[in-house]
Amino acid sequence: MNLTDYVRRVSREDFGKEFRHQAYWNRRLKTTGGCFFPKDGHLDFNPRYYEAAPLLFRKIVRHELCHYHLYFEKKGYRHRDRDFKELLEAVDGVRYAPALSAFETNVYLYQCQQCAHVYPRKRRINTAKYGCGKCRGPLLFVEKRNQSSG
């Protein structure tokens, strides 16, 4: 199922209304989950939210559909409007998308060169300054991993 079909299904199930335009993935969105374009009616969504937290993504789709449906019904579709706030609460959408950093964490792996013990760390460490806690051997940076907790 592609994104537009998914948005159409959410619109029918949660709003009882049809979504008649297109929905697109937009990796250039950095701090927002989605964006509504009143000029042509299409919606853009940040794929990183779908990858990190699929259950939250449906609430983001509801948020953008609130803008969409209210705009075409000629009601208040902006964040500050009462119509928007009431509809968003009725369909259980999110007011603001949480920061992606809440879902994605970097893990740095270090390994002792003498005893081969592996140290996962959230922050980078200076291998010239710190050594192994077990045998005091020198540490070697192994890799950086991205982990999602959504």
Active site residues: 64
In DSSP notation, the chain reads: --HHHHHHHHIIIIISS---S-EEE-TT--S-SEEE-TTT--EEE-HHHHHH-HHHHHHHHHHHHHHHHHHHTTS--STTSHHHHHHHHHTT--SSPPPGGGTEEEEEEEEETTT--EEEESS---TTT-B-TTT-PBEEEEEEEEEE--
